[in-house]
Amino acid sequence: MTTSPISSMANVSTIAAPVAKRQPPDAALQAAVAEKSALVMARLNSIIARHPNVVFANSLGAEDMVLVDMICQDNLPIGIFTLDTGRLNEETYTLLEQVQKHYANCNFQIMTPDYQLLEPWVREHGINGFYDSVENRKACCNIRKLEPLARALKGQDAWITGLRAAQSVTRQNMDWEDFDTLNNLPKFNPLIEWSEKEIWAYIDLNQVPYNALHDRFYPSIGCAPCTRAISAGEDVRAGRWWWENPETKECGLHKAK
């Protein structure tokens, strides 16, 4: 029997789930993280030198928390913004509050959808109309993510993301230096070569705050109705828009080459 996306919502974050256990990073992993961290800091400083008005799009995912920590610990002149789609998990909002307190020296700009675009779409398609088709889902992402992103990037010289090549098939050919044709800006992915183990080793070694859902088998977290926990052996982004094929699993923020 085929399970509908809405009935699959049994995996929502309010339901208790086992906590994933991580092993402490060994000496080799710590050395790899130290080496890659130095490279990322060099990249960030190179970006700043070339693009004084640069911003970082912080999704509050594990990768992005690594960059938040690096930027804020070194007081780098990089603006930070977060897209609040209005449909995020409670745990994500809790993390946002923690981050604002933990990195009090940094200012976190919160971008929200334009109600003049969102309200008519919801009236026409319904509150969960994004389940009905890929076209509807992408239209929802456009209103809740792409349009606020465009506003956040207006007047900027470049932007930074926490993308990693290993995250999905749609990101395997991305480079650390890229160009965003939609927003006509240079785009940088300084963590592109990092592995998932290296991300979590950095977080654990530096006591970086992170989303509690990661410990409940949510390696990739987006909007609450479009994200589920994954099972052992599944791809790390299998829980994102799980009712779609892998090649369509992007919201449009990050175009593959």
pLDDT at 250: 55
pTM for the structure as a whole: 0.85
User: Which among 21, 29, 45, 74 has a CA at the least distance from the CA of 205?
Assistant: 29
* Out of 19-23, 55-59, 105-109, 160-164, least confident range: 19-23
Would residue 20 count as lying in a domain? no
Place of tokens 């790390």: 236
Overall domain count for the chain: 1
Given a cut of 70, whether residue 3 has pLDDT beyond it is no
CATH code for position 29: 3.40.50.620
**Cα distance between residue 110 and residue 108, in whole Å:** 6
User: pLDDT for 115-128, tens place per residue?
Assistant: 999 999 999 999 99
Would residue 186 count as lying in a domain? yes
Tokens coding 99: 């981050």
Given a cut of 50, whether residue 7 has pLDDT beyond it is no
User: Which among 243, 248, 244, 242 has a CA at the least distance from the CA of 229?
Assistant: 242
Single out the catalytic residue among 106, 140, 226, 251: 251
CA distance to 14, 43, 97, 143, 241, per residue, from 109 (Å): 27, 23, 12, 18, 26
Would residue 157 count as lying in a domain? yes
140 is catalytic: no
Would residue 9 count as lying in a domain? no
What domain range is 188 assigned to?
A: 25-248
User: pLDDT for 154-211, tens place per residue?
Assistant: 999 999 999 998 876 655 678 899 999 999 999 999 999 999 999 999 999 999 999 9
Would residue 254 count as lying in a domain? no
232 vs 74: which has the higher pLDDT: 74
Given a cut of 50, whether residue 248 has pLDDT beyond it is yes
